[in-house]
Amino acid sequence: MNTEFITNIGLTHYLVLAALLFVIGMAGVLVRRNVIVLLMSIELMLNSVNLTFVAFSKYLGILDGHIMVFFVMTIAAAEAAVGLALAVSIFKRFNEVNIRFFEHLKG
């Protein structure tokens, strides 16, 4: 039995971990009702991408990936800010953060 997979942590592991995180984030977006949790799930997805970037960067031996992570983090921060602002304004207006409440636009 080839045990290298278990003993040597390599690129694959990072990628699998990132993929798992991505899927978890995705699942969070799909099933959670709370806007704030939704935001967090999206952040999780972005962070899994960051992990991928870093892993690849390390694997390829170039620094570009690390730089990109900074970019992504910045944007994720902006996104979070906008998202929270939206959430706050919505909560102020409707007293509600359950997204099932927002189904007026349909059909």
Chain residues binding another protein by CB under 8 A are 15, 22, 25-26, 29-31, 35, 38, 42, 45-46, 48-49, 52-53, 55-57, 59-60, 62, 64-65, 68, 71-72, 75, 78-79, 82-83, 85-86, 89-90, 93-94, 99-100, 102-107
Which residue, 15 or 17, has its beta carbon nearer to another protein? 15
Q: Provide, rounded to whole angstroms, the least separation between the CB of residue 17 and another protein.
A: 13
Which residue, 17 or 68, has its beta carbon nearer to another protein? 68
Residue 23 Cα distances to 5, 15, 103, angstroms: 22, 12, 25
Measured between alpha carbons, how far is 33 from 98 in angstroms, rounded to an integer? 5
DSSP state of 99: G
Please give the angle made by the CA atoms of 66, 67 and 69, to the nearest 5 degrees: 65
